[in-house]
Amino acid sequence: MAIGGIVMNFKEKLVEKFLLVNAFLAVFIVGLITLFIFKEGLPVMLKFGLSNFIFGQVWDPIGESFGIFTMIIGSFAVTLGSLVLGVPLGVGCAIFLAEIAPRQVSKIIRPAIELLAGIPSVVYGFFGLVIITPVIRNYIGGTGLSLLAGSIILAIMILPTVISISEDAIRAVPKEYKEGSLALGATHWQTINNVILPAAKSGILAAIVLGMGRAIGETMAVIMVTGNTVALPHSILDPVRTLTGNIAIEMSYAADEHRQALFATGVVLFIIIMMINVSLSLLTRKRVID
């Protein structure tokens, strides 16, 4: 028994050390990537000026003018549009699956949602290029390659994330909350709206954050449907270029300062995503405490 206990203790410590090494390795890799991006991107930002780089509206690598403000606006516009379209649909679907749908219906819908998460982004891009952009061009206006097309595609792409995490958050609400509300005479919808959703709001916010991260970091599908014009959009039918799209389009032939400017674009994108995650994490924590 003593020998068996020693062996078990040794195995537990070995697994503990292995997991610890994996954790430190993950942090080290993220830190290494961050250092590399900043090392490559900061020189051009310092040379041309941080404000000129971020707020400049002219992107002309040949003329050594690197302003990414139009692409920052394009990224935020497409992301906001995808959230406006995708979040209500995703949360509504999560409510339906968790609280309303019969078991047989859930067995059909849930695998279909999981299948959406496994479709490559280039397939979404082809779908948008062949189906969505012609519909926009023929029935709404413009060329079809637009902010609206990008928002629709990204809204579809974030649905699996928003639905699955929101559904888990709703199902995690203690049953006593629902039973107590129904016992007090509330209807099923009043219980969902006034009891279940407020109790699950932190999880739903987490779903929105992850969906936002997926949207603002998407590249291939956005390149295929947004038109990639470096200009401020004045309507949802105007073409835009995002930060990720700019990097993907020009990195293959960029050199010297042009290449550094693309890395600097990655630095800005990295900071934006970190600010969004930290801000919403603090908001979620505050609401949980309250």
Q: What is the predicted pLDDT for the residue at 85? A: 94
**Rounded Cα–Cα distance for residues 240 and 220 (Å):** 14
Q: Does 63 have pLDDT greater than 60?
A: yes
Q: Do residues 77 and 48 both lie within one domain? A: no
Average pLDDT over residues 123-135: 93
**What is the number of other CB atoms lying within 10 angstroms of the CB of residue 207?**
25
Q: How many CB atoms lie within 10 A of CB 168?
A: 15
SS3 216: helix
pLDDT by residue (tens digit) across 133-155? 999 999 998 888 999 999 999 99
138 shares a domain with 171 = yes
What is the C-alpha separation between 78 and 219, in angstroms, rounded? 12
Q: Please identify, among 15, 30, 55, the residue that sits at the C-terminal boundary of a domain.
A: 55
Residues 6+ apart with CB under 8 A from 89: 155, 159
Residues 26, 75 within the same domain: no
Same domain, 74 and 20: no
Same domain, 128 and 39: no
User: pLDDT tens digit string along 1-16?
Assistant: 456 566 667 778 888 8
CATH of the domain at 85: 1.10.3720.10
pTM summary value: 0.86
Asked whether the beta carbons of 82 and 158 are under 8 A apart, the reply is yes
* 118 lies in the same domain as 6: no
165 and 197 together in one domain: yes
pLDDT of residue 115: 87
Domain span at residue 248 reads 69-289
Residues 172 and 241 in one domain: yes
Run of H or E residues at 252: none
Q: Are 51 and 135 within one domain?
A: no
Number of domains present in the structure of the chain: 2
Band (95; pLDDT cuts 50, 70, 90): very high
Instruction: Indicate whether 75 pLDDT > 90.
Output: yes
